[in-house]
Amino acid sequence: MKVLVIGSGGREHALCWKIAQSSKVDKIYCAPGNGGTYLIAENVDIKANDIDGLLEFALNNNIDLTVVGPEEPLVLGIVDRFQEKGLKIFGPDKSCAKLEGSKSYAKEFMEKFNIPTAKYRSYDNYKDACIGLEEFSYPLVIKADGLCLGKGVVIVNTREEAIEVLNDILEKKKFGKEGNKVVIEEYLDGVEASLLSFVTDNKIIPMESAKDYKKAYDKDQGPNTGGVGAFSPSPLFTDSLKSRIKEEILDRIQYGFEKEGLSYKGILYVGLMIVNGNPKVLEFNVRFGDPETEVLIPRLESDIVDLFQKTIDSTLESSDILWKKESSLTVVLTSEGYPLKYEKGFDIEGYDSLDESIILFHNGTKLQGRRLLTDGGRVLSVTSLGNTIDEARKKVYSNIDNMSFKGMVYRKDIGK
């Protein structure tokens, strides 16, 4: 069969890597892909948000299965468009993708179905939002409503900072139409955790747990990023906590899907904050997380193409999803200045001299002749499996020393 993977990051490279292991697959395309997907797939020069171009390519090339990596095409309704043409595609439709496309809609959904989350208010007017600050203590969180590539969430410590952020989003239109509305939210102080699930016709089947690192620098300092490291499993997820998450969160989400008349098929990412042992939902994503994918996919024993097809066909059971007992860890090598201003186009050295225990996923790279160059803020995800998280950690960090590019930055405390 022919498979098309949409996207260009580490998540998509990990998906291509796993899909390539399926005996059912003869050919993989990745649109637009990167310098790593090039090794296992044919890169196609079509952007992930070019729905018309992707649809035309899938029809002309008799694609049997399309797998959507990033959120933007899902929110734009790529699944609906492909299904209208009778094409098999993995991911939630436009109505379900709104759970990530609009933070205010997601919060309303949580409130309506009694899913534990932080106190919040939504505003589309700058003056009203400034008045609304009076309902909150500091620190607090301000979120642009729409998709902002992981940059639309700001933690502020004073009223002055809050007013400046509200002005940037609502008045100066820092995020364009994605910031036409904001969510002001109570700051939750706890431990973050990620739970990804396969969802087949609203039935939620959790994957193994993972923990990612959002802050740019060691000891959780610096600005928020899209994620600069991760490990799996997370020791936070005791049997007791898993049971509470199922009863208090997943079962209520499933009930909400049914009540809202949704038919959810694909991946649901629930971003959690564990506050004094109590799980609360920070956000929903409607696709694989990044870098969580880079630690979960290497632990997956099952044929991922089977899982995709059974999800689409509404036949997936939890017994279909088998995991390795090993732990995994990834460290993301980033460009200096990420997530703010950074340069790209630098030669990457030493990537071909790593131990066999290392799985190297490319986040932001491109090939120029025989040269591999940096092409993004997040450049490479250095991943390994081990009997313990610490064993995987040692393998990863001992190999990072073999690689270099101008301005290479990475956290030294992932999994510590």
| HEC per residue, the chain | CEEEEEECCHHHHHHHHHHCCCCCCCEEEEEECCCCHHHCCEECCCCCCCHHHHHHHHHHCCCCEEEECCHHHHHHCHHHHHHHCCCCEECCCHHHHHHHHCHHHHHHHHHHCCCCECCEEEECCHHHHHHHHHHCCCCEEEEECCCCCCCCEEEECCHHHHHHHHHHHHHCCCCHHHHCCEEEEECCCCEEEEEEEEEECCEEEEEEEEEECCEEEHHHEEEECCCCEEEECCCCCCHHHHHHHHHHHHHHHHHHHHHCCCCCCEEEEEEEEEECCEEEEEEEECCCCCCHHHHHHHHECCCHHHHHHHHHCCCCCHHHCCECCCEEEEEEEEECCCCCCCCCCCECECCCCCCCCEEEEECCEEEECCEEEECCCEEEEEEEEECCHHHHHHHHHHHHCCCECCCEECCCCCCC
Average pLDDT over residues 338-347: 95
pLDDT at 408: 98
Span 370-412, pLDDT tens digits: 999 999 999 999 999 999 999 999 999 999 999 999 999 999 9
pLDDT at 194: 87
pLDDT at 224: 83
Q: Decide if pLDDT at 151 tops 90.
A: no
pLDDT at 154: 87
Predicted confidence band of residue 193 (pLDDT cuts 50, 70, 90): confident
Proportion of the chain above pLDDT 70, given as a percent: 100
Domains, the chain, ranges and CATH? 2-91 (3.40.50.20), 119-186 (3.30.1490.20), 191-320 (3.30.470.20), 327-409 (3.90.600.10)
Q: Decide if pLDDT at 329 tops 90.
A: yes
Average pLDDT over residues 348-369: 96
Span 115-131, pLDDT tens digits: 999 999 999 999 999 99
Mean pLDDT, rounded, of the chain: 96
pTM, full prediction: 0.94
